Amino acid sequence: METKTRQRSTADERRATVMRTAIGTFAERGYYGTSTMDVAKAAGISQGYLYRLFKDKETLFAALVDHCSDLLRASAAAAVASVRSTDPEVVLAALTASYAEVIADREVLMILKHAECSASEPVIGEAVRTCYAKQVEYVRAVSGASDEQIRRYFADGLLGNVMMAIGAASVDAPWARTLRA
């Protein structure tokens, strides 16, 4: 009779597990409302092991911001690859649709919103600035859009974030219809 040897997870595998579970945990209560014990419990590891994987809570949350930035970039790249025009407005429209798909995952949206609210924490603030810098420069490079077009693209996206976060799609009121237009 053969016995199977249990194979231990590598640190990278555990880190990936923590990232998957931490998104949901932090999305629910934010950076300040979530403890490392909450994250460790959700990931099925000890708090001590969590600290072996991530220096501290701030570093873990910054890694989540980086992860969300990578999701945005991958989705944008797929959208741009499908565009058959070099017109900046056409490219920006594809990027807008791509962005809407990513933030439809409420957990990703809430990580981004909580990150903005926690940007006074130095490591998180740097992660948020890096996220924006990467997104802006990528959009500039692939779209050929002017600074004004890029500013409008991001302004509309940020308004979309707020509308989704507050559930404005289900509100039938003049203010909500105006902002959705």
All structural domains of the chain with their residue ranges: 57-180
Average pLDDT over residues 82-98: 96
Please determine, for residue 177, whether its predicted confidence score (pLDDT) is greater than 70: yes
Q: For residue 11, what pLDDT is reported?
A: 79
111, 39 Cβ separation under 8 angstroms: no
Whether 64 and 22 have beta carbons less than 8 Å apart is answered as: yes
pLDDT band, very low/low/confident/very high, at 12 (cuts 50, 70, 90) = confident
- How does DSSP classify residue 23? H
**What distance in Å separates the CA atoms of residue 110 and residue 108, rounded to the nearest whole number?**
5
Q: Averaged over 53-78, what is the pLDDT?
A: 96
CA–chain centroid gap for 144, Å, is 24
Q: How does DSSP assign 110-171, residue by residue? A: HHHHHHHHTTTSHHHHHHHHHHHHHHHHHHHHHH---HHHHHHHHHHHHHHHHHHHTTGGG-
Contact at 8 Å (CB) between 46 and 108?
no
| pLDDT(158) > 80 | yes
Return the pLDDT at 14. Answer: 85
Residue 6 pLDDT > 80, yes or no?
Answer: no
The CA-based dihedral angle spanning residues 91, 62, 165, 179, taken in that order and rounded to the nearest 10 degrees: -40
Q: Is the pLDDT of residue 26 over 90?
A: yes
Amino acid at 124: I
Whether residue 7 is predicted with pLDDT greater than 90 in this model: the reply is no
